[in-house]
Structures are given as C-alpha cells and as structure tokens.
Structure 1
Amino acid sequence: MPGKHVRFASISTAYPPPAVPSLSYSVASVPSSSGPWTPPSRPSVLPSSHHGHSHHKRSHSYPAPQATRVHSLLAYSHHPVINYDVSLPSSTITTTQIGLSTTAFSEPAVYSPVSSIVLHIPHHIWPITVHASYNGHYVTVNDVFTEVYHALRKNVTSAEYNAIPSKKETEKVRMAYETRYKRLRDRHASQSEKQQGVKRVDFLTGHTRFMGLSISPGHGGSSVWVLRLS
C-alpha cells in the first residue's frame, strides 16, 4: 500500500505474571501493549492476580464443556456487569455491580470446573487456550481475562498480515494498529508501542469490548466456547 507502512515483531514477546483486577464500581468503559510487526503507517480497576501464570498441563482434567454453565461474570449479555476492553490489561476491569467481591475472580470460570478451555472469537483465526493458573486445578474467571489479553498481545507475522483477504480489511487492521499506539499520551510510550508492531488485537478492528462467553454447536456434535466482543 503506497505510503503506508506497518511494523512486525522481530523478537518474541514476554509477559509479566497475571494480575487479578482490583474492584471498583464504575459505569465507564475502558479503551494495548508488546512485540514488533507494524502495519503500513498511514479506566476503575478489578482484581488482578499476583500469582504466577502457568501453561503447564495438569495430570488430571475435567470433562469438556457440554451441558455446562459459565460464571455470571463471564456470561454473554448485551449489558455485562463487567466493563472491559480486551486490548488493555485485566487490571483495568471495572464493574457496574456495586459490592462485587474480588474473590469472585478466583471462582471457576465454568461449572463443572475444567483444567483448560478453548475460546473462539468469530472471524478471528487464532483460538485462545486458557489453562488453570495458580490453583492448578481449574480455570478461574481471572484466568480467562488474563489469557485473553496476553493472547491478543501476540505479534502478527508479515505472512498473516498479507493473508488478509481484502484491501478494505487490511486498512481496518492498519487503522486499529495506529489508533492503539496513538492513544497513549506519553510520547515515549506511544513510540515504544508503535515499534512493537501489529498484534492480533488489531485484527479485531476496534471491536474490543468484552460482552461475555457463550456456547455454540461445533463440528461433530461437540460444543465450542465463543468469546463475544462488540
């Protein structure tokens, strides 16, 4: 695209340990951050977990989600109780529910509890696998928010960027990338974010508001978890 340039990561991205949101009541929604490929140039807080983030497989597992239910904080709704922009760390989460305890974020994400779940975002090619973190037994509410953020912070390769099916969609991704780093008021922080390049979150083209999880029919009669965004 003449006159337009994007950047791609040349190094792997490292993430700090997950944090549990520190809860505060708010009705405001919140508006990312790490690794380098860049497209052609052209908040109150919920609990954050201070436990180490682990992706090691456990020796035991639980049944895959079938006739199961999701935690109320994660349930899909047109008016979710959680205000969260998935392009930002989970520590920026706020809630519309007065008196919500931060301990709720340590509760199982789904019932019956599972040691891992895979989330699919409509029209997004990268599934997100969430593993049980510090408790080592089941995925918590906070595990979901933390892993969604980290997964979407992964860098995009030039091949993935060039595989975008149309110029119109490519332009949307590039604009999302530019908006993400330009929203940072600190000039050095903005430049650092720009140099980290295009990330998977940019492929959401601005649809980053968390609306919840739902279960949809999958192939072969199985069910899949769908991450709804708006």
Structure 2
Amino acid sequence: MHPLFEYTHLDHAPISCDTIYPPSSRSILDRSTRASIPYETLDEPATEPAVYSQLVLKCDLLPWEVIVRPNASGAAPAKSTRFPFTRRRPVTNVDVLFALYDTLTECVTEDEWARLGHRSRAQRKISRAYEQRCIKLGGGWETGVRRIDWLDGRTRLVGIEMAPAKDGVASDVATLVFKTPV
C-alpha cells in the first residue's frame, strides 16, 4: 500500500479521513498536523507495484467488499501530471477514497436488512448508528440506513492493513481500519 494508507498495529498511517463526508480537502487530513493531504499525494498509485484493473478492500465490520477501479473519483485530469504518456491510469489514493465513500453511502436493501434478523441486536446497533449519523449531519433521515451505519460510528479511516506475505509472495488481501472520529 501507499505510505499514506500503510497501517500496522505498531505504525499508524498518516491519513485521517472521516468517511461520513465526501472526499475533499476538508475531510482528507494528515493525522498529526490536521492539514489537508496535497492532491499530488492523492494522485499517486495506491499500491506498489501499481494496479491498473481493480483493488479489493475488506473490513471485518462490513459484509461488503470495496472494489476500487482507476478513476473512481471521476475527476481525473485528461492527462495526469504523474502519468502523462499513458492511456491507462493506475488505481490512485484518491480512487480508494472515492470508491470507499461511494460504497459506504449506498442504501441498504431490504434483503440485507432482513438478513440481520428482525429486531436483532445487530439491527438495533445499526439503527442507533443511523440515528447518530443523521443527527451529526443535520438530516438524511429520509434516505434510510446506509452501509456506513454498519461501522457503528467508527467512520474515520485511519489506514489499510495488508496481510503478511506468505513464502515471499505479497498478499492481495487488504483490510480497512476505522476508528471513531474525535
């Protein structure tokens, strides 16, 4: 992973991004300085070596995967400053953030809700997170429960943890790490 997202239990990533808000200079911050992450950094490949097709991210709190494709933000310039001679763009850091936001803001289907069990502990917990999110945003009640509510208020992305390599082969499993916003 790019150093912006690289997270281990001993070494935390520099990013702090509250995924309740769309990716912007106000929501994508340096964890220690609280300054905006420069666009040049966000435009860099999210992985080394660069991935040109898709990147799959998981989270233990979510039953869904986050599929990240190049130009997920829809805002990439026609010619990237870092990749001016290539037609294909790699998956970038900003692509990761937009794909994550888009995935988390999807409405939960009736089927997904029903699978939790009628009035189950999980439904009650997610309902509380939904209420807290709507109060924090000052609205959004009419759109219903969203995938972000599965995070139970832990909406601040603080990094992406790669599974350890096995037999010298890098893993393709990456886990999103969330914390409660301060």
2:14 match: 81
How far does residue 114 in structure 1 lie from its aligned partner after superposition?
0.2
Task: Give 2:3's match in structure 1, choosing from 72, 76, 96.
Answer: 72
Task: Give 1:94's match in structure 2, choosing from 6, 29, 47.
Answer: 29
1:180 match: 133
Alpha-carbon RMSD: 2.3
The change in CA–CA distance for 1:184 and 1:214 in structure 2 (over 3 A counts) is closer
1:25 match: none
Distance 2:4 2:110 in 1: 36
How far does residue 99 in structure 1 lie from its aligned partner after superposition?
8.9
How far does residue 159 in structure 1 lie from its aligned partner after superposition?
1.5
AA of the residue aligned to 1:120: K
Q: After the TM superposition, which residues 138-217 of structure 1 pair with which residues of structure 2 at under 5 Å, given as runs?
A: 138-164=90-116, 167-185=120-138, 190=139, 193-216=140-163
The change in CA–CA distance for 1:173 and 1:111 in structure 2 (over 3 A counts) is same
How far does residue 88 in structure 1 lie from its aligned partner after superposition?
1.5
Runs of 4+ aligned residues of structure 1 deviating over 6 Å after TM superposition are: none
How far does residue 172 in structure 1 lie from its aligned partner after superposition?
0.8
Provide structure 1 residue ranges, at least 5 long, that are not aligned to the other structure: 1-69
Distance 1:126 1:120 in 2: 7
Contact 1:71 1:108 in 2 (8 A): yes
The change in CA–CA distance for 1:99 and 1:152 in structure 2 (over 3 A counts) is closer
- Paired residue secondary structure (1:211): strand
Distance 2:161 2:13 in 1: 13
TM-score (norm 1): 0.60
Task: Give 1:121's match in structure 2, choosing from 25, 39, 59.
Answer: 59
2:44 match: 107
How far does residue 80 in structure 1 lie from its aligned partner after superposition?
3.0
- Paired residue secondary structure (1:84): strand
Task: Using the aligned pairs only, state the percent identity.
Answer: 29
Contact 1:80 1:212 in 2 (8 A): yes
Provide structure 2 residue ranges, at least 5 long, that are not aligned to the other structure: 81-87
TM-score (norm 2): 0.75
How far does residue 167 in structure 1 lie from its aligned partner after superposition?
1.8
1:229 match: 178
**Deviation per residue, 1:153-182 (Å, 9 max, x gap):** 111011111211572211110011111111
